[in-house]
Every structure is written in C-alpha cells, then in structure tokens.
C-alpha cells in the first residue's frame, strides 16, 4: 500500500460495496410500500444504510409511519429478499481488487451486517469470488458481534480472527456507508469511503467526511 501508515490487512463491508444490493433493498422496500401509497425516500434510505436489520427497519417504520410491526415488515421483506438477492451483481472493481490483494498476499476479511443466511443467498452466484476470504467472514448475527455498526465490534472481531497479532492501525476498512465509516473510526482503523453517488442527496461531493480517504468507485482505488 502506498499510503502511511503501512497497511497490513484489509477488511471489507459487503452490501453496496462488493455487491450491488442497495438497488435491490430499494426495490424490495418499494414493493412493500405499494399498498400504502408510499415510496422510499432517499433521506430515509441514507439513514438505514450500513445498519443491522432491526435498526434499519425501525427507522423505516418510524419515518414513513407504517402500520406494521417489525415482525410483520421483516417477514414480507425476508421472502422478497430471498428472491431478489440471488440476482445481485458484483460492484465495478470489486473482484479485481480482491484478486489483486489475494495475489499479493495481503490478508483480507469480510465484515457484513447481513445475517449468515442472507450472506449465502447474496453470494451464491459469486462463490468463486467470496471464496477468496476463506474462513475470514464475519456476519452481523455472529455471537461475538455484540453491538451493530456504528459500534466497532464487527471490525474488531474480523481483525482478531484474521490475525491476532494485528493492531487496529494496521487495518484498512472499505465501506460504502457513513455508518460503516463511523464504525471503522470507532475501531481506530483506517478507512476508505466508497461513496456511491447514486445514493446521495447532493450531486456535489461532500466538503467534509471522517474517512481516511473518499473515492466514488472501487475502480478508483490504486492498491499499488
């Protein structure tokens, strides 16, 4: 890695970063909202991105004042996700970067808020790519992850499982959600915010952010 401090390992989020699932989340949400004559506002989506299912759903139900319990909404959403997530595509530059890091013996880990069940569904057509992570995959329902992002738990757990000798400052986290960048900060790790401008309320780039570096696509990241 060219930037200081020297990076010894990379930890990746998944949804919206490696897999183009954010468009599918919106599709599923809008399908559930149809009977209520509501649409999914970007402001609410941005608050939900990078959060665990319970927290994200609670935000949605409150913002849109839906007459549904968490359980009622989640039941509908889960069935739709099982259908649509199987079609999720890789984000541009994702496979190239993962294969580059693997070829250069840079340790990599996955830290996703998705449950293990949803992880398997989302990645089943991309198994040869996600096999690059080996056993270093930590999901949001892992018993060692006590608190969801923006707490640092999932990144610290992923780091310890990758190599117990690693320190937070040795790690570079790739995230597409502000909430995930905050989790990386709380873990005292370096971070790359891959800011997908499709999910932004402003066409102009932000003047301030808390990531170590901001890019708009993994294609823009130079690992040399």
Active site (catalytic) residues: 13, 15
Within the chain, how many helices (H) and strands (E) appear? 9, 6
Q: Helix 70-84 and helix 116-123: axis angle, to 10°?
A: 30
Q: What share of the chain is helix, strand, coil (3-state, %, to 5)?
A: 50, 10, 40
Between CA 142 and CA 116 the distance in angstroms is 8
Q: Which run of H or E residues covers position 151?
A: none
Cβ pair 112, 136 in contact under 8 A? no
Contact 194, 175 (CB under 8 A): yes
* 133 Cβ contact list (under 8 Å, min separation 6): 108, 109, 110
Could you give the count of Cα atoms lying within 13 Å of 95 in the half-sphere of its Cβ? 12
Strand partners, 137: 110
């Amino acid at each position: 890695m060219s930037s200081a401090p020297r990076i010894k390992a990379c930890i990746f989020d998944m949804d919206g970063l490696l897999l183009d699932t954010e468009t599918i989340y919106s599709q599923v949400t809008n399908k559930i909202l149809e009977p209520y004559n509501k649409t999914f506002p970007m402001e609410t989506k941005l608050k939900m991105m990078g959060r665990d299912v319970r927290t994200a759903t609670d935000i949605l139900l409150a913002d849109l004042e839906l007459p549904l319990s968490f359980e009622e909404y989640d039941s509908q959403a889960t069935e739709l996700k099982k259908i649509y997530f199987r079609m999720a595509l890789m984000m541009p530059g994702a496979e190239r970067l993962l294969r580059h890091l693997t070829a250069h013996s840079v340790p990599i880990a996955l830290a996703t808020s998705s449950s293990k069940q949803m992880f398997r569904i989302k990645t089943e057509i991309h198994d040869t790519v996600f096999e690059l992570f080996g056993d270093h995959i930590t999901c949001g329902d892992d018993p060692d992850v006590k608190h969801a992002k923006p707490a640092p738990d999932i990144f610290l757990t992923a780091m310890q499982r990758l190599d117990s000798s690693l320190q937070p400052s040795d790690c570079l986290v790739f995230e597409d959600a502000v909430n995930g960048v905050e989790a990386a900060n709380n873990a005292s790790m370096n971070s790359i915010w891959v800011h997908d401008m499709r999910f932004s309320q402003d066409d102009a780039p932000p003047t301030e952010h808390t990531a170590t570096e901001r890019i708009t696509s993994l294609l823009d990241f130079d690992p040399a």
